[in-house]
């Protein structure tokens, strides 16, 4: 079936227009395949997905159309295929268009399910925020095909999960069933984004199965450790003392800089003559020959002729930071893993019970490692918790590391990875045998490993390599280039490890 600019396919609409008993197994399976893009539909079991595909119908409504009205008895269950709806507390839904931050449900969400399982009235109004397409399951078809039994099994599994958690041991069964009605199980594959910022999210999430990672996007230029680290490595290119870049100059470096400026040309040839005279006297040799005073022929103990090096500024665009200037290319960010949330843990209430002045409001990202979770609206969840549950949540809250600590960890890991690669390259250099690579057509790909590496060795070069750049959006700030590693100017590994004089040989 072909999709028309994201809308529900016309062939699928024809299937939904048939009575449930007239739909063939092939048509039900085809409809089920089309609905895999709807996240809330995909969260159900396969058997329940097929039953829903058998009975659902298609509807399209315009902006401001009220779908569910507060106080009325529920008669249908809705999946959003395209569009957005708003959830409000008034009867006509008009407050959604006046509220600067309305509660919205987008493509892939569903609503109205629990209204088919009980005889109660709707507790909120749902209105179309824009032109929206729905897949609708009516109460008659819902009960006739025993869908209520399948949904009840799903609710019972959520109840059992809540009951086994220590967090809810003091809750009564009645209160726990109220919690069951507030959310349902959602499934996320490995690497799938769950929340862009769960600190400001309006939901808390309980992990039923699997695990997920908490990530933080750090802007490296905001760390003084990163600023010093960059200039310490660029010093190998620039030949300038570190003190010309850092606000606090090292006294030793200031003294060396003073020495160089005081002696624009230092020639140690006279020391060489004194050394040769003493050695010839010991050998009873007359000093009557012409001597070439070349700096390169000096005794090793004295070293070569030393000439002062004038500071040469790095010729590249600079950016002002709170610590000083940085090359524009070095203004990058990185995603850092700071915590893993395991099965049975809750995430999203981060420091909610602390005073606002003490809260850590940095944006935090939640990414799935293969996860099933239950999402609950914060205000409803906080209304239900008692003092004992509150104390348990406070004890389980985690204090995440600062951005500067994460930056230091990133650079230490980066330095270790660079050293490890250099060492491996040194040891295997004599055994350079080209690996066998099967000949085949080259696949065109947007991703290139070099695109996620910041190369400080090329900041002074006019010709830049052409790689795609990955940018991440920031709240109230310009997008930030993302890197995974930094390749910096460095000494040869033979200088760091003199015992490895010959590559591949241990001494």
Domain that holds residue 389: 154-220+333-397
Do the beta carbons of residue 130 and residue 67 sit within 8 Å?
no
Give φ, ψ of 20 to 5 degrees: -55, -35
Supply the pLDDT for residue 296: 40
Same domain, 51 and 123: yes
Give residue-wise pLDDT tens across range 167-197.
Answer: 999 899 999 998 988 888 888 989 999 999 9
Q: The tokens 């990163």 sit on which residue?
A: 226
Contact 456, 489 (CB under 8 A): yes
Residue 404 domain-assigned (yes or no): no
Q: Evaluate whether 140 touches 158 at the Cβ level (below 8 Å).
A: no
Q: Based on the domain organization, do 373 and 350 belong to the same domain? A: yes
Q: Is residue 86 part of a domain?
A: yes
The reply to whether 208 and 90 lie within a common domain is no
Do residue 182 and residue 136 come from a single domain?
A: no
Task: Write down which residue in 89, 115, 145 finishes a domain.
Answer: 145
What span, in angstroms and rounded, lies between the C-alpha atoms of 94 and 66? 10
Give the ranges where 336-402 is alpha helix by DSSP (H): 378-384, 387-396
What is the three-class DSSP state of 324?
A: strand
- Do 224 and 404 form a contact (C-beta atoms < 8 A)? yes
CATH label of the domain that carries residue 352 = 2.60.120.10
Last residue of a domain, one of 379, 397, 415: 397
- The answer on 207 and 342 residing in a single domain is yes
Q: Please state the domain count of the chain.
A: 2
Asked if residue 160 and residue 139 are part of one domain, the reply reads: no
Q: Single out the residue in 368, 397, 426 at which a domain terminates.
A: 397
Residue 66: half-sphere exposure toward Cβ, Cα within 13 Å: 15
Mean pLDDT per 10-residue segment, the chain (507 residues): 70 92 92 91 86 92 91 88 92 86 88 76 89 92 80 86 91 90 86 90 91 93 91 72 50 64 53 63 50 39 36 70 88 93 88 76 92 89 89 86 93 89 74 62 61 81 71 82 85 63 45
Same domain, 137 and 191: no
State the burial class of residue 298 (Cβ atoms within 10 Å of its Cβ: 0-12, 13-18, 19+).
middle
Residues 116 and 165 in one domain: no
């Amino acid at each position: 079936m072909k999709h028309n600019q994201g809308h529900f396919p016309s062939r699928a609409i024809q299937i939904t227009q048939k009575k449930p008993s007239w739909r063939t197994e092939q048509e039900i399976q085809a409809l089920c395949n089309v609905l895999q893009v709807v996240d809330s539909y995909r969260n159900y079991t396969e058997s329940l997905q097929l039953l829903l595909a058998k009975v659902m119908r298609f509807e399209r409504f315009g902006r401001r159309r009220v779908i569910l009205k507060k106080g009325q008895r529920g008669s249908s269950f809705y999946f959003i295929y395209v569009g957005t709806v708003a959830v409000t507390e008034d009867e006509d839904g008009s407050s959604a268009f006046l509220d600067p931050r309305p509660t919205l449900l987008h493509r892939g969400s569903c609503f109205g399910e629990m209204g088919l399982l009980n005889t109660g009235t709707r507790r909120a109004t749902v209105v179309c925020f824009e032109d929206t397409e729905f897949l609708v399951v009516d109460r008659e078809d819902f009960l006739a095909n025993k869908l209520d039994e399948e949904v009840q099994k799903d609710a019972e599994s959520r109840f059992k999960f809540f009951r086994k958690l220590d967090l809810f041991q003091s809750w009564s069964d009645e209160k726990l069933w109220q919690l069951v009605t507030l959310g349902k199980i959602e499934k996320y594959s490995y690497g799938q984004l769950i929340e862009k910022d769960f600190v400001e999210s309006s939901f808390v999430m309980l992990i039923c199965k699997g695990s997920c990672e908490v990530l933080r996007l750090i802007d490296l230029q905001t760390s003084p450790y990163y600023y010093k680290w960059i200039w310490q490595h660029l010093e190998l290119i620039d030949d300038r003392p570190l003190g010309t870049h850092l606000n606090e100059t090292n006294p030793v470096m200031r003294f060396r800089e003073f020495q160089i400026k005081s002696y624009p040309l230092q020639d140690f040839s006279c020391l060489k003559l004194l050394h040769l005279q003493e050695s010839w006297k010991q050998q009873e040799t007359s000093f009557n020959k012409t001597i070439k005073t070349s700096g390169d022929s000096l005794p090793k103990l004295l070293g070569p002729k030393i000439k002062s090096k004038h500071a040469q500024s790095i010729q590249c665009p600079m950016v002002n930071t709170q610590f000083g200037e940085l090359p524009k290319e070095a203004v990058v960010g990185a995603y850092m893993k700071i915590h893993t949330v395991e099965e049975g843990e809750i995430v999203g209430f981060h420091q909610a019970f602390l005073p606002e002045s003490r809260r850590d409001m940095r944006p935090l990202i939640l990414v799935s490692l293969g996860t099933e979770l239950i999402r609950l609206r914060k205000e409803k969840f906080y209304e239900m918790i008692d003092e004992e549950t509150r104390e348990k949540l406070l004890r389980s809250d985690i204090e995440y590391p600062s951005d500067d600590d994460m930056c230091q960890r990133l650079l230490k890991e980066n330095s270790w990875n660079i050293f490890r690669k250099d060492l491996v390259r040194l040891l295997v250099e004599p055994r350079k045998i080209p690996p066998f690579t099967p000949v085949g057509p080259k696949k065109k790909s947007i991703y290139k490993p070099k695109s996620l590496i910041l190369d400080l060795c090329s900041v002074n070069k006019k010709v830049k390599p052409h790689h795609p750049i990955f940018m991440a959006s920031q709240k109230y700030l310009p997008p930030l280039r993302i890197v995974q590693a930094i390749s910096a100017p460095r000494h040869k590994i033979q200088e760091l490890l003199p015992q490895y004089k010959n590559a591949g040989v241990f001494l």
